[in-house]
Amino acid sequence: MLKERQEIIDLCLNYPGAYEDYPFHDPNWCVMRHKGTKKTFAYIYEREGHLWVNVKCDPQWRDFWRSTYAAVTAGWHQNKEHWNTVILDGSIPDKDIKRMILESYDLITGKIRS
């Protein structure tokens, strides 16, 4: 079960060109970016006793994820139309967490997967 910060960072680092960044000078906030564009596809941080991951999302999928899982909410401190927050409280299957992170990566790199 994905619940640890390093597990999420390692998952993100598996994507081509991905790197971790700490632009806020706060070790709680890890930002996952793409080397080519410097665009962000995940914000990883701890809040309220859980690990939270903000991911970019296609507005067509945004409401699906939010209605499917109570632990997926509008992006905390982000544009609510294009970002979701995924709270890793154990209620979301790993396959769906991985899918949301990959979809976020694909959005910033312009990849289309079926």
Q: Which residue type sits at 44? A: I
Tens of pLDDT, residues 12-43: 999 999 999 999 999 999 999 999 989 999 99
Record the pTM: 0.92
pLDDT at 2: 84
Tens of pLDDT, residues 59-113: 889 999 999 999 999 988 787 779 999 999 999 999 999 999 999 999 999 876 5
Report the chain's mean pLDDT, rounded to a whole number: 93
pLDDT at 112: 60
